[in-house]
Amino acid sequence: MRPRLFGTTASVAAFGLLGSAMTACGSSESAATTLRLVAPEYGTGPATGSKAYWDKLTAAFTAAHPGKKVEVTLRPWADVDREVTRMVQEDDAPDVALMGAYSDFAAQGRLYAASEVMSVRAEANFLRPLADAGSVDGTLYGLPFVASSRLLFYNEKLFDEAGAKPPKTWSDLKDAAEALKKEGVLYPYALPLGPEEAHAEALIWELSNGGGYTDDSGGYNIASEQNAETFLWIKNNLVTPALTGPIPPAELNRQDAFAAFLRGDVGMVNGYPSLLHEARAKGMKVGTVRMPVSDTLGDQKTPPAAGVADWMMAFKQDGNRELVSSFLNFVYEDKNLSEFAGRYHLLPSTVSATEASQYAAADPSAEQFLTALRGAELYPVDEPSWLQVSDTIKRNIGKAVAPSADPKAVLEQIAQQTRDIAQQR
């Protein structure tokens, strides 16, 4: 299926139809007392690390459920998908995982449906566009946790010094990058196509030229003409003229690009709300705009922003259903979900937490991310092969902009690997 577009945020009235809280999973003969959770690290250092949140949440959970224990393993975003996949392959799956894809495991019959482990009220509480993206053939398996959209950030101080203007088109972006380079900016445009999250940066650029990972029929279209044109333009106009910094894009990870931005070494980078918050906390003046469009598109079309959601999933294990159910219903209580979303300045995934959130009120700039998210395009997460395909993209897409590369050939190689993955299923 084609990656879903976010629609209008669900209303309070819709939430009023959720009904009473009823446990859907029923009783279990479960004797499980320890729940294992694998989750990614959302923080950028000790001060913002995720451990503090999970320590507090699991302490509260175990206090409310005497005799139960939760073991949390945190992994870098660059590793968490592969780590969980490895665990599953070795028949050592965690009870619950939080990561970037779910449908591969759903297709293998390894996941509980939401109706098996969540109350009726909790399952109905997910924002509808997210719930749709988390469903396969109408059954919800991927429980959306937090979401965000991406905007182009620019350092206003560096722009003022360079006499650059906020870009609206790719040509504008190149002009700004050239002006920034003349002023000695280390990374005029930071292009993180390293394995941590290359698939996000790539999608942002593809959408800005009318491309994307899939076509209108929902099939993968990674080597489309639009995508080939996109990476050829990036290579010729940003990478070859050395406007992307000292580290090759294929080796530059998102976290490193963000750290450089916070040091004042980056003129422009695609980012999400938590980076904006960190930058402003440091006293930086940061401007935000929608990703500039290709000169081919110009004013003809406003492409969607890239939207990202993270997915929680429950693995079927002998005797663990009751414990998993208790834990998930606890995690998705408004106070717990809102605390995590607020900690990282992300959008909570439920109607009630979104309505109760003071995020937008506390930070007026948040509204631009919410607006972009409502019309954003997500990864094709309901495609069972996406987990492996996204890993292939992460590890290879950066090669498309190397100075000696043929972008079309690199995309064709990725497309062939994608076809091979699909045929193996």
Q: Which helix (H) or strand (E) holds 279?
A: helix 273-281
Residue position matching structure tokens 């070494």: 265
**Could you report the per-residue pLDDT of 73-98, keeping only the tens digit for each?**
999 988 999 999 999 999 999 999 99
- As a whole number of angstroms, the distance between CA 219 and CA 216 comes to 8
pLDDT value at residue 18: 36
**Could you report the per-residue pLDDT of 149-175, keeping only the tens digit for each?**
899 999 999 999 999 999 999 999 999
Task: Give the residue among 359, 213, 338, 187 at the shortest CA–CA distance from 277.
Answer: 359
pLDDT value at residue 336: 96
Which amino acid, residue 18? L
Confirm if 146 and 348 have CB atoms less than 8 A apart.
Answer: yes
- As a whole number of angstroms, the distance between CA 233 and CA 194 comes to 19
- As a whole number of angstroms, the distance between CA 353 and CA 347 comes to 9
The pLDDT of 24-46, averaged and rounded, is 76
Q: Give the lowest-confidence range in 115-124, 189-198, 361-370.
A: 361-370
Which amino acid, residue 171? S
At residue 395 the predicted structure's pLDDT band, cuts being 50, 70 and 90, is: very high
Round the average pLDDT of the chain to a whole number and report it: 89
Q: Give the lowest-confidence range in 60-64, 343-347, 415-419.
A: 343-347
